[in-house]
């Protein structure tokens, strides 16, 4: 069945890099996403990657996609206290599929 898995917690020191990992199961996914949820708020799209890409860089964010292993990662360089949040990995299936599968979320805590 469809499933997206993430570790639940990650703690890093301010200034270090954070790497959040995700594994997914639907090889037909067209887009994969990283959403950020700050305390008491809804989810906001942080970045995404199209399934025919291996890597995407956006300022401090680097997304790596390994389609063979169905593994997605999000690297945050120079992590700041404002990056403390829950990060969700999500996949969207082939065109015409309206369902998204979200992971359990990884709570990132940045220590000053």
Partner 1 sequence: NAGVTQTPKFQVLKTGQSMTLQCAQDMNHEYMSWYRQDPGMGLRLIHYSVGAGITDQGEVPNGYNVSRSTTEDFPLRLLSAAPSQTSVYFCASRRLAGGLSNTGELFFGEGSRLTVL
Q: Which CB atom, from 45 or from 111, has the smaller least distance to partner 1?
A: 45
* Minimum CB distance to partner 1, residue 49 (Å): 10
Q: Which CB atom, from 53 or from 77, has the smaller least distance to partner 1?
A: 53
DSSP letter, residue 99 = -
Q: Which CB atom, from 17 or from 97, has the smaller least distance to partner 1?
A: 97
φ, ψ dihedrals at 97, nearest 5°: -90, 125
Among candidates 47, 53, 103, which has minimal Cα distance to 75? 47
Among candidates 96, 97, 93, 101, which has minimal Cα distance to 35? 101
Positions in the binding site for partner 1 (CB under 8 A) = 4, 8, 30-31, 33, 35, 40-45, 48, 50, 88, 92, 98-100, 102-105
Query: How far from 61 is each of 56, 68, 97, 98, CA to CA, in Å?
Result: 8, 22, 28, 27
Q: Which CB atom, from 47 or from 84, has the smaller least distance to partner 1?
A: 47
* Minimum CB distance to partner 1, residue 88 (Å): 7
């Amino acid at each position: 069945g469809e499933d997206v898995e993430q570790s639940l917690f990650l703690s890093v020191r301010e200034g270090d890099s954070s790497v959040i990992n995700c594994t997914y199961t639907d090889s037909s996914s067209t887009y994969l996403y990283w959403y950020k949820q700050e305390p008491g708020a809804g989810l906001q799209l942080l970045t995404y990657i199209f399934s025919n890409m291996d890597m995407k860089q956006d300022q401090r964010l680097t997304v790596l996609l390994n389609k063979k292993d169905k593994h997605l990662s999000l690297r945050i360089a120079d992590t700041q206290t404002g990056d403390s949040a829950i990060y969700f990995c999500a996949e969207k299936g082939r065109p015409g599929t309206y369902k998204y599968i979200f992971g359990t979320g990884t709570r990132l805590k940045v220590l000053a």
